[in-house]
Structure 1
Amino acid sequence: MRVVVAGGHGKIALILERLLTRRGDTVAGLIRNPGHAGDLEAAGAEAIVLDLENSSVEAVAGHLQGADAVVFAAGAGPGSGAARKETVDRDAAILLADAAQAAGVPRYLMVSSMGADADAADGDDPVFTTYLRAKGAADDDVRGRPGLQATIVRPGMLTDDAGTGLVTIAESTGRGSIPRADVAAVLVAVLDTPETGGQTFELIGGDTPVDEAVAALSRGR
């Protein structure tokens, strides 16, 4: 399997790249900063320097040729303002979907956020509200595309704790946290389960092994 990861230097992305390459998959990561290339190469992934905020559909699609799946794991990151929540968390995710369809890539995995909602109510933090709306709008756009098997993964609060391999997956899990390593493991399992295409689910730590929790999604269709 060839997988292209947008936001290839993110914490979840680097773990995902290691998991995939260790089992023999071919992985490329899209990064904006060429200084991060060494970290991707150490994870076994090809580094592709490409700024999704300033790229055309054609340019991105050129790097997706031959891919079996794309994963959107990019984000404007802490400390960024509302404008970049829109240009990265929304617009770049939509651009990646446009490019995937142009390149004939059948699968799209979105690392979204619990609470993502294009119509999220105003909150105490206007930047965070913009973030939830941007993620929700991107989820809606990607999920609604005919011919693109998209899976939207909405994790709870992310931690850098060691992965447990145990999760809770549901349409609504309630608030909770989850190690980034377990999110990456779920992404691998989702890639291996095409029946998860078209599904959106929340993800937190729990008591169910990752493979069993993802398999239950396909049985529930």
Structure 2
Amino acid sequence: MSRIAVVGGHGAVARQLHPLLVAAGHTPVALVRRDAHAREVAALGAEPRMLDIEASGVDAFVEAFAGCDAVVFAAGGGPDGNAERKQRVDLEGSTKSTEAARRAGIARFVQVSAMSVDQPVPGDAAPVWRAYVAAKREADAVLRDSGLDWTVVRPGALTNDPPTGAVDLGVTVSRGSIPRADVAAVVAACLADPGTVGAQFEVVSGDVPIATAVASAPRFAG
């Protein structure tokens, strides 16, 4: 049994992930910032701990990670059109989590990122989209250079559709969408498979069962 800290523990992917971790015999430690959110994640089998990702420093992250064996970064700045919040949550939240894991002696770290963030941004893209892409790209680079046992999961457009249990996964894949429930299943499969350490991949809905696809996840080639 492992205790797995989930940063962004009340997020849409995280709420799909908690029951999967419980079913696998783990204890998800959901980091949330509101009492109401704590009650919701507790009902899903997670242990809630309070952490304001934006306002807290690295020391608070270290304290929140106490007793955990792995970290999942599943936080996002939300669809509020706020470029500054993308910086504070998607980038700084990730880099604080990475540094806190290092200080806490937690090696395993799985990050939910986004597909195509290494590609050039179209010239007519909105500032908030540019901020989002830059935040995800830099956060992934910091994690890859951290010395942790990392995996970077880069899903396509997220939906609330029911899970399919099958994906298309590779270094790059054709643009598409994927249910948040399937992203959660991919994260859970990565945590269960030490062969995904050092892997970075894009993933959308497809025809390959998740366990099979994750077992052949490509390692980052630089």
TM-score, length-scaled by structure 2: 0.94
Say whether 1:191 aligns with 2:191: yes
Match of 1:26 in 2: 27
Q: CA deviation at 1:57?
A: 1.5
Q: In structure 2, what is the Cα distance between the partners aligned to 1:149 and 1:220? A: 12
Q: In structure 2, what is the Cα distance between the partners aligned to 1:88 and 1:104? A: 23
Q: CA deviation at 1:124?
A: 2.4
Identify unmatched segments of 5+ residues in structure 2: none
Q: CA deviation at 1:154?
A: 0.5
Contact kept? 2:4, 2:68, Cα under 8 Å: yes
Match of 1:213 in 2: 213
Q: Is the deviation greater in 169-178 or in 62-71?
A: 62-71
| SS in structure 1 of the partner of residue 77 of structure 2 | coil
Contact kept? 1:90, 1:134, Cα under 8 Å: yes
Alpha carbons of structure 1 residues 55 and 17: separation in structure 2 relative to 1, 3 Å = same
Q: CA deviation at 1:120?
A: 4.2
Q: Is the deviation greater in 122-131 or in 112-121?
A: 112-121
| SS in structure 2 of the partner of residue 217 of structure 1 | coil
Q: In structure 1, what is the Cα distance between the partners aligned to 2:13 and 2:112? A: 9
Q: In structure 2, what is the Cα distance between the partners aligned to 1:220 and 1:113? A: 15
| SS in structure 2 of the partner of residue 54 of structure 1 | coil
Q: CA deviation at 1:34?
A: 2.0
Q: What one-letter code is carried by the residue in structure 2 that aligns with 1:64?
A: F
Alpha carbons of structure 1 residues 43 and 220: separation in structure 2 relative to 1, 3 Å = same
Q: What one-letter code is carried by the residue in structure 2 that aligns with 1:28?
A: V
Contact kept? 1:195, 1:218, Cα under 8 Å: no
Q: CA deviation at 1:117?
A: 3.4
Match of 2:143 in 1: 142
Match of 1:12 in 2: 13
Contact kept? 2:200, 2:218, Cα under 8 Å: no
Instruction: Give runs of aligned pairs for residues 100-115 of structure 1, distance below 5 A.
Output: 100-115=101-116
Q: CA deviation at 1:219?
A: 9.4
Q: In structure 2, what is the Cα distance between the partners aligned to 1:80 and 1:218? A: 33
Q: In structure 2, what is the Cα distance between the partners aligned to 1:160 and 1:107? A: 28
Match of 2:87 in 1: 86
Q: What one-letter code is carried by the residue in structure 2 that aligns with 1:165?
A: G
| SS in structure 2 of the partner of residue 113 of structure 1 | coil
Q: What one-letter code is carried by the residue in structure 1 that aligns with 2:200?
A: T
Contact kept? 1:82, 1:127, Cα under 8 Å: yes
| SS in structure 2 of the partner of residue 151 of structure 1 | strand
Q: What one-letter code is carried by the residue in structure 2 that aligns with 1:74?
A: A
The count of residues paired between Structure 1 and Structure 2 equals 220
Q: In structure 2, what is the Cα distance between the partners aligned to 1:52 and 1:220? A: 28
TM-score, length-scaled by structure 1: 0.94
Identify unmatched segments of 5+ residues in structure 1: none
Q: What one-letter code is carried by the residue in structure 2 that aligns with 1:85?
A: K
Instruction: Kindly report the root-mean-square deviation, in angstroms, between the aligned alpha carbons of the 2 structures.
Output: 1.8
